[in-house]
Amino acid sequence: MKRTLVKEALNAAGPMESLLLQGWVRTRRDAKAFSFVEVNDGSCLKGVQVIVDATLPDYAQVARAHTGASVAVRGRLVASQGQGQKWAVVATGFTVVGEADGTYPLQKKGHTLEFLREIAHLRPRSNLFGAVFRVRSRLAYAVHQFFQERGFHYVHTPIITASDAEGAGDMFRVTTLDLEHPPRTPEGALDHARDFFGRKTFLTVSGQLEGEIFATALSNIYTFGPTFRAENSNTSRHAAEFWMIEPEVAFCDLAGDMDLAEAFVKHLIRDAREHCAADLEFCGKFVDPGLLARLDFVLERPFQRCRYTDAVEILQRSGRKFEHAVAWGDNLQSEHERYLTEEHFRCPVTVYNYPRAIKAFYMRKNDGEAPDRQTVAAMDLLVPGIGEIIGGSQREERLAELREGMALHHLPEKDYWWYLDLRRYGTVPHAGFGLGFERMLMFVTGVANIRDVIPFARTPGSAEF
């Protein structure tokens, strides 16, 4: 007999004579003449109520169906007598597939998120994590949908790389060298030439540079894959392994890039509102009461745009005592970003034209700015509750200016020969951005810690599972 998912059963158009459900017991309540067993299979937030009559030959099985056990139920789908649900199942057959005893950790409701992180192998069976990971799955689909419908091609950029895309140096090394007895050069240094790739290699921090290669061939491309950063920042918004979506568009400037970012973020929110309604309602009820109103508000209004220089002025005039004072030329700290989006603009805001010295080497130098206040065509999209979810820029397409930028950041040209070639052969203005997938999920679900929107978090000091 073909399995019916709980979601299909709960959404059935009419009663069903016979169906097979397979799932896990959430709760059981025994009365004199029958038992109620709530079965959830993760296909949706809700479980289905199964009524097992004490006269059923299989009834002896029910005593073994504790919370967490896996079961197979044959039965009829009938109109539910209880409130809140349209359908219930009257069992004609009931089998315990795998037992769970009293040590099953998800017994009671109301575990803390910290505790659930320690049992990340079981937490997907809880309501919250079921909801979060269904939303994650749906949004991954919506990412592809957004770009594919607009004629973008999906490019798989490498995970192992020899180049530092962001020039920030926070990279994980990839090596097969025997770390106890590494080969050494005559001078005593590590002999990278004898490593697997014959050179120093790392896990990528971004697929952008390779993305640019494909944008200058296929015009509109995007990447969507894991990225790795060895920043030792133990915050609620940083993970050492996270997923990033990076579109890259040929013949596009910064304004076009900001338009694309805004349309993309709105598409993802709209899609989740439509296709994950029950899961988001749950998040709105148990995670963040302001969630649904905030998402709808964000959908309805255009995002604000603000030059970095103006943002600094706003912050300086705010009268606010920030932990870090703001001066032109400094990076905006998370407290500044959040002031701008949460208190000043009270909506998502794209800050653009940042000082050249604090941004990556590949960003396009803005013409016509005073030399002591030189800026690049960079943009960061800031949202309430999180701060930066997108970082992007127009890329420097002029060979001479790119070389100047590399010299400024002390990057050796020989390592980027192919990147420079893109400016030698048929160069075009182009732009792109990176959306942190987990930060987007935090925004959409209201979940406050990045460790709770990725199945298995990798953070400093932690790589269990």
Q: Is the CB of 64 or the CB of 117 nearer to ligand 4AD?
A: 117
Q: Is the CB of 129 or the CB of 222 nearer to ligand 4AD?
A: 222
Minimum CB separation from ligand 4AD for residue 369, in Å?
21
Binding mask 344-383 for Mg ion (x = CB under 5 A): ----------------------------------------
Minimum CB separation from ligand 4AD for residue 92, in Å?
50
Q: How many CB atoms lie within 10 A of CB 464?
A: 10
Minimum CB separation from ligand 4AD for residue 182, in Å?
29
Q: Is the CB of 391 or the CB of 446 nearer to Mg ion?
A: 391
Minimum CB separation from ligand 4AD for residue 382, in Å?
9
Q: Which does 439 bind (CB under 5 to 8 A by kind): ligand 4AD, Mg ion, none?
A: ligand 4AD
As a three-state string, the secondary structure of the chain is CCECCHHHHHCCCCCEEEEEEEEEEEEEEECCCEEEEEEECCCCCCCEEEEEECCCCCHHHHCCCCCCCEEEEEEEEEECCCCCCCEEEEEEEEEEEECCCCCCCCCCCCCCHHHHHHCCCCHHHCHHHHHHHHHHHHHHHHHHHHHHHCCCEECCCCCEECCCCCCCCCCCEECCCCCCCCCECCCCCECHHHCCCCCCEEECCCCHHHHHHHHHHHCEEEEEEEEECCCCCCCCCCCCEEEEEEEEEECCCHHHHHHHHHHHHHHHHHHHHHHCHHHHHHHHHHCCCCHHHHHHHHHHCCCEEEEHHHHHHHHHHCCCCCCCCCCCCCCCCHHHHHHHHHHHCCCCEEEEEEEHHHCCCCECECCCCCHHHCEEEEEEEEECCCEEEEEEEEECCCHHHHHHHHHHCCCCHHHHHHHHHHHHCCCCCEEEEEEEHHHHHHHHHCCCCHHHCCCCCCECCECCC
Minimum CB separation from ligand 4AD for residue 136, in Å?
14
C-alpha pair distances (Å), 439 with each of 216, 236, 381, 442, 444: 29, 10, 12, 5, 9
Minimum CB separation from ligand 4AD for residue 365, in Å?
16
Binding segment for Mg ion (CB under 5 A), chosen from 139-147, 156-164, 356-364, 388-396, is: 388-396
> CA nearest 127: which of 70, 67, 44?
44
Binding segment for Mg ion (CB under 5 A), chosen from 16-24, 33-41, 225-233, 385-393, is: 385-393
Q: Is the CB of 68 or the CB of 392 nearer to ligand 4AD?
A: 392
Q: Is the CB of 18 or the CB of 232 nearer to ligand 4AD?
A: 232
Count of residues that interact with Mg ion, criterion CB under 5 A: 1
> CA nearest 330: which of 350, 358, 310?
358
Q: Is the CB of 195 or the CB of 438 nearer to ligand 4AD?
A: 438
Contact 377, 369 (CB under 8 A): no
Q: Is the CB of 211 or the CB of 391 nearer to Mg ion?
A: 391
Minimum CB separation from Mg ion for residue 380, in Å?
6
Q: Is the CB of 166 or the CB of 397 nearer to Mg ion?
A: 166
Q: Is the CB of 39 or the CB of 360 nearer to ligand 4AD?
A: 360
Binding segment for Mg ion (CB under 5 A), chosen from 148-156, 189-197, 344-352, 391-399, is: 391-399
Minimum CB separation from ligand 4AD for residue 120, in Å?
17
Residues 225-244 interacting with Mg ion (rule: CB under 5 A): none
Contact 141, 462 (CB under 8 A): no
Minimum CB separation from ligand 4AD for residue 434, in Å?
3
Query: Which residues lie near ligand 4AD (CB under 6 A)?
Result: 165-166, 206, 208, 229, 231, 238-239, 242, 244, 246, 388-393, 432-434, 436, 438-439, 450
Q: Which does 174 bind (CB under 5 to 8 A by kind): ligand 4AD, Mg ion, none?
A: none
Minimum CB separation from ligand 4AD for residue 211, in Å?
7
Which residue in the block uniquely carries the two structure tokens 């080969």?
183
Q: Is the CB of 391 or the CB of 405 nearer to Mg ion?
A: 391
Residues 395-454 interacting with Mg ion (rule: CB under 5 A): none
Minimum CB separation from Mg ion for residue 277, in Å?
32
Cα 187 to the chain's mean position, in Å? 45
Which residue of this chain has its Cβ atom nearest to Mg ion in the complex?
A: 391
Contact 248, 377 (CB under 8 A): no
Q: Does 391 bind Mg ion (CB under 5 A)?
A: yes
Q: Is the CB of 61 or the CB of 206 nearer to ligand 4AD?
A: 206
Q: Which does 436 bind (CB under 5 to 8 A by kind): ligand 4AD, Mg ion, none?
A: ligand 4AD
Distance from C-alpha of 338 to C-alpha of 303, rounded to nearest angstrom = 15
Q: Which does 438 bind (CB under 5 to 8 A by kind): ligand 4AD, Mg ion, none?
A: ligand 4AD
Chain residues that interact with Mg ion, rule: CB under 5 A: 391
